[in-house]
Amino acid sequence: EAAVTQSPRSKVAVTGGKVTLSCHQTNNHDYMYWYRQDTGHGLRLIHYSYVADSTEKGDIPDGYKASRPSQENFSLILELASLSQTAVYFCASSDWGGSSYEQYFGPGTRLTVL
Amino acid sequence: AQSVTQPDARVTVSEGASLQLRCKYSSSVTPYLFWYVQYPRQGLQLLLKYYSGDPVVQGVNGFEAEFSKSNSSFHLRKASVHWSDSAVYFCAGANTGKLTFGHGTILRVHP
C-alpha cells in the first residue's frame, strides 16, 4: 500500500518564527509536492520536486522554501511565519511518467500561526 | 496554462438520489483528469482517473465520470448516493507533472 506520512499533524506557531513541515513517502516515487488548502481555494501548489537535492517553484512559492534531501523525504520551510500562512498543508507523491500519473496524498498538517 | 473549474460550490441531495458533480477543464492538450474525495479532516483519496480511451471511467464506491473533449468536461456521476458520500469532491487535471485543482464541491447527502 502506497504511503505518505506527514509530521507534525498539527502545529501552532508564532508570527515571525520558523516552521518546518516534514513529509516521508515509501512509494519509491520520484515526484513529491507541497500544497496548501484554504477554504474556497481548493489546493494550491507551493513547491515540488522530481529528484533529490532539487526543488521547483509551484504556483504560490512566496514565503516558502522546500528541501528534498532524499527520494523519500521532502520538507516545507517557513522561515518567517505569517498569519496568512495559517492553512492545512498536504504533501503528495507521484510516479509521473512511470506507471501512473496520479498523486498520493498524506493526511495533512494543520498549521495555525498566531 | 491549464485551469479546472467546478461551477457548483455546494450540492445537496437526498439519500438514494442520483448525483452529478460538474467539472470543466481548459487545456491546449488533452490532460490527464482525476476526481478526488476529501472526508472531514483527512487527506485526498483518488476516486477515479482518465488518461485516454473509453470516455466513461469507473471508480470506487459506484462513482463514474465521463470525459468529453468537445465540451471540455469531466463530470462525476453516481446513480444512488448514500449519506456517507457527504464530503468535498475535487476535480483535477495534469499534463506537466503537476496537478491543477478545482475549488471543490461540498456534497451534502440528506439521510
Coil/strand/helix, residue B27: coil
| Nearest neighbour of B98 by CB, restricted to A45, A90, A97 | A45
- The DSSP symbol for B84 reads G
Instruction: Supply the pLDDT for residue B40.
Output: 87
Instruction: Supply the pLDDT for residue B1.
Output: 64
Q: pLDDT tens-digit profile of A37-81?
A: 997 678 999 999 999 999 999 999 999 999 999 999 999 999 999
- Residues on chain A touching B32 (C-beta within 8 angstroms): 101
Tell me the mean pLDDT in the region B2-22.
95
Tell me the mean pLDDT in the region B25-30.
73
Write out the three cell numbers for B56: 466513461
Where is B19: in which H helix or E strand?
A: strand B19-21
Rounded alpha-carbon distances, angstroms, from residue A86 to A112, B3, B40: 5, 25, 18
Q: pLDDT tens-digit profile of A92-106?
A: 999 887 667 889 999
- Residues on chain A touching B44 (C-beta within 8 angstroms): 43, 90, 92, 105
Q: Provide the phi-psi class of A101: left if phi over 0, else alpha when psi is between -120 and 50, else beta.
A: alpha
Chain A: closest CA distance from residue B53 (Å): 15
Distance CA B31, CA B71 (A): 14
- Which amino acid type is present at position A90? F
Whether B13 has its CB under 8 Å from any CB of chain A: the answer is: no
Tell me the mean pLDDT in the region B95-108.
89
In this structure, how many other beta carbons lie within 10 angstroms of the beta carbon of residue A17? 12
Give a three-class secondary structure readout of chain A. CCCEEEECCEEEECCCCCEEEEEEECCCCCEEEEEEEECCCEEEEEEEEEECCEEEECCCCCCCEEECCCCCEEEEEECCCCHHHCEEEEEEEECCCCCCCCEEECCCEEEEEC
Nearest residue to B78 (alpha-carbon basis) of B8, B20, B34, B35: B20
Q: pLDDT tens-digit profile of B42-101?
A: 889 999 999 889 999 999 999 999 999 999 999 999 999 999 999 999 999 987 778 889
Instruction: Supply the pLDDT for residue B54.
Output: 94
Are the Cβ atoms of A107 and B43 closer than 8 angstroms?
A: yes
Coil/strand/helix, residue B3: strand
Residue A1: band (very low, low, confident or very high) from pLDDT cuts 50, 70, 90: low
Beta-carbon contacts of residue B55 (< 8 Å; ≥ 6 apart): B66, B67, B68
Residue B16: band (very low, low, confident or very high) from pLDDT cuts 50, 70, 90: very high
Beta-carbon contacts of residue B42 (< 8 Å; ≥ 6 apart): A107, A108
Instruction: Supply the pLDDT for residue A106.
Output: 95
- Cross-sheet strand order for the sheet of A19-25: A4-7, A19-25, A73-78, A65-67
Nearest residue to A36 (alpha-carbon basis) of A64, A15, A2, A72: A64
- Residues on chain A touching B42 (C-beta within 8 angstroms): 107-108
Q: pLDDT tens-digit profile of A4-45?
A: 999 999 999 999 999 999 999 999 999 999 999 997 678 999
Tell me the mean pLDDT in the region A83-95.
95
Mark which residues 83-102 of A lie under 8 Å from B by CB. Answer: 90, 92, 94, 96-97, 100-102
